[in-house]
């Protein structure tokens, strides 16, 4: 079926205004993720001496279909609808993250997940895309924010908006997500033109906070010590490096990997090692290339957006996906200390896939080349437009 530029329907408008290069990059990553889910599922459900099954792969197909719907739906939203949706999602994510402290499932001393029966939901995953939108909306708003005749700095307002989420995450505890959210806040300030001196000061404060975590949080201290000392390489990181070595340039072939059966969380946090063992450096390089294309493409499209909010929000969304991918692949290749963080679009799991699909859906909507901002919104969202006075 072909779509004509002369058509005026919502689907045609969307197809000819959306960034198809970024869209195809996202679809390629989802496809690679499904392929690796079938490779990792037997190892995640079985062991070296027992046969596993494909339950995670089957679930991932269902999750991918839902994520595809989220991706398309959010990419159809208007700028006003994106702001409204992000505000609702951020509030619900904070509330659900609080509820996790009392009702969530505890895994390895941390409470981060709500058990829904058919899947576990991690509400904190949705804080990143929603805060990227809200933070950008605050910083891009031309109207000064005043309290008792005192003009408040919008950088501070954005931080105060983020503060409840940070407090909840440190109670779970999830210092990794906390650091990513703080990095996202810093990126928003940087993209908004924060002077270099203040950027350096914030970087210094971040370094101090990381040092304090190293000194006073035992498991972080242990992971950093393992990373620094070559003789104390972590169990998972050591096995991941063996998997890459075993795979070589082209890999041992689909389903022929053996080291993957010994790696904990091989279907999620260390799925990059499965790619390295069974498909070699070739597939790992392709994954890195697609992430680079996606991130750079969105950043370039963000610079051409007519609305300052769209520019700032799209750049922040591209940054957070690139940062998460960098952390996951850096941990898997022993370039960074161990941190439980999924590889966007590729790791198995519903929460991560849904959140990153929302992230890219927002980014695709923000970077759509509309003739006039707001005039090419999908007809389903006309009720969110301003009514002329």
Residue 286 has pLDDT above 70, yes or no: yes
Pairing of strands 150-152, 145-147: antiparallel
pLDDT score of 389: 32
Of residues 386 and 313, more confidently modeled: 313
Residue 367 has pLDDT above 50, yes or no: yes
Please count the CA atoms within 13 angstroms of the CA of 365 that sit on its side-chain side.
29
5 pLDDT band, cuts 50/70/90, is low
pLDDT score of 55: 86
Give the pLDDT confidence of 84-101 residue by residue, as tens digits.
Answer: 999 999 999 999 999 888
9 pLDDT band, cuts 50/70/90, is low
- Assigned token pair, 81: 């609808």
In contact, 275 and 316? CB cutoff 8 Å: no
Residue 283 has pLDDT above 90, yes or no: yes
Give the pLDDT confidence of 211-223 residue by residue, as tens digits.
Answer: 888 888 887 888 8
pLDDT score of 380: 44
In contact, 86 and 363? CB cutoff 8 Å: no
Residue with tokens 């995450």, as numbered in its chain: 169
Give the pLDDT confidence of 222-269 residue by residue, as tens digits.
Answer: 888 877 776 566 677 888 899 999 999 999 998 888 898 888 888 888
pLDDT score of 217: 85
314 pLDDT band, cuts 50/70/90, is very high
pLDDT score of 383: 39
List Cβ<8 Å contacts ≥24 apart for 216-219: 217/173, 217/175
12 pLDDT band, cuts 50/70/90, is confident
Q: Enter the pTM of the model.
A: 0.89
In contact, 112 and 124? CB cutoff 8 Å: yes
Residue 227, CA distances (Å) to 173, 260, 339 in order = 21, 21, 11
Over residues 10-27, mean pLDDT: 87
Range scoring the smallest mean pLDDT among 136-145, 151-160, 329-338, 375-384: 375-384
Of residues 278 and 114, more confidently modeled: 278
63 pLDDT band, cuts 50/70/90, is very high
CA 132 – CA 362 distance, rounded (Å): 10
Sequence-distant (≥ 6) Cβ neighbours of residue 52 within 8 angstroms: 41, 42, 43, 44, 45, 46
Residue 382 has pLDDT above 50, yes or no: no
Compute φ and ψ for 7, nearest 5 degrees: -65, 145
Q: What is the mean pLDDT of the chain?
A: 86
Residue 155 has pLDDT above 80, yes or no: yes
Strand order in the sheet with 105-107: 105-107, 110-115, 120-121
Over residues 176-205, mean pLDDT: 91
Of residues 151 and 41, more confidently modeled: 41
Over residues 353-379, mean pLDDT: 77
Over residues 27-53, mean pLDDT: 85
Cis (ω within 30 of 0) for the bond into 173? yes
Over residues 169-195, mean pLDDT: 91
Range scoring the smallest mean pLDDT among 60-74, 188-202, 272-286: 188-202
Residue with tokens 């806040």, as numbered in its chain: 185
DSSP assignment of 357-386: HHHHHHHHHHT---SSTTTT--GGGGGGSP
């Amino acid at each position: 079926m072909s779509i004509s530029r002369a058509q005026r329907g919502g689907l045609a408008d969307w197809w000819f205004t959306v960034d198809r290069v970024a869209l195809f990059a996202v679809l390629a990553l989802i496809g690679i993720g499904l392929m690796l889910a079938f490779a990792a599922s037997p190892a995640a459900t079985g062991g070296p001496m027992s046969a596993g099954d494909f339950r995670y792969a089957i679930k991932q197909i269902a999750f991918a279909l839902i994520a595809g719907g989220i991706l398309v739906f959010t990419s159809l939203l208007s700028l006003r609808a994106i702001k409204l949706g992000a505000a609702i999602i951020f509030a619900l994510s904070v509330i659900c993250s609080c509820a996790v402290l009392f009702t969530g499932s505890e895994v390895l001393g941390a409470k981060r997940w709500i058990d829904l029966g058919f899947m576990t939901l991690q509400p904190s995953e949705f804080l990143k895309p929603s805060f990227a939108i809200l933070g950008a909306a605050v910083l891009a708003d031309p109207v000064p924010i005043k309290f008792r005749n005192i003009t408040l700095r919008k950088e501070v307002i954005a931080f105060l908006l983020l503060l409840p989420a940070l407090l909840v995450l440190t109670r779970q505890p999830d210092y990794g997500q906390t650091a990513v959210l703080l990095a996202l806040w810093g990126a928003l300030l940087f993209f908004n033109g924060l002077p270099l001196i203040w950027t350096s000061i914030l970087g210094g404060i971040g370094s101090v906070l990381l040092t304090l975590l190293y000194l006073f949080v035992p498991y972080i201290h242990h992971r950093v010590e393992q990373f620094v000392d070559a003789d104390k390489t972590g169990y998972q990181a050591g096995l991941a490096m063996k998997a890459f070595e075993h795979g070589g340039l082209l890999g041992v072939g689909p389903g022929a990997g053996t080291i993957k059966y010994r790696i904990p969380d091989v279907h999620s946090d260390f799925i990059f090692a499965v790619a390295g063992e069974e498909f070699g450096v070739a597939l790992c390089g392709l994954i890195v290339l697609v992430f680079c294309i996606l991130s750079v493409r969105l950043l370039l499209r963000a610079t051409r957006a007519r609305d300052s909010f769209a520019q700032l929000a799209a750049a922040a969304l591209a940054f957070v996906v690139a940062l998460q991918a960098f952390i996951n692949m850096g941990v898997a290749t022993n370039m960074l200390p161990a941190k439980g963080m999924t590889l966007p679009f590729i790791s198995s799991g519903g929460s991560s896939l849904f959140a990153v699909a929302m992230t890219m859906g927002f980014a695709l909507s923000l970077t759509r080349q509309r003739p006039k901002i707001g005039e090419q919104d999908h007809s389903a969202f006309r009720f969110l437009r301003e009514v002329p006075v």
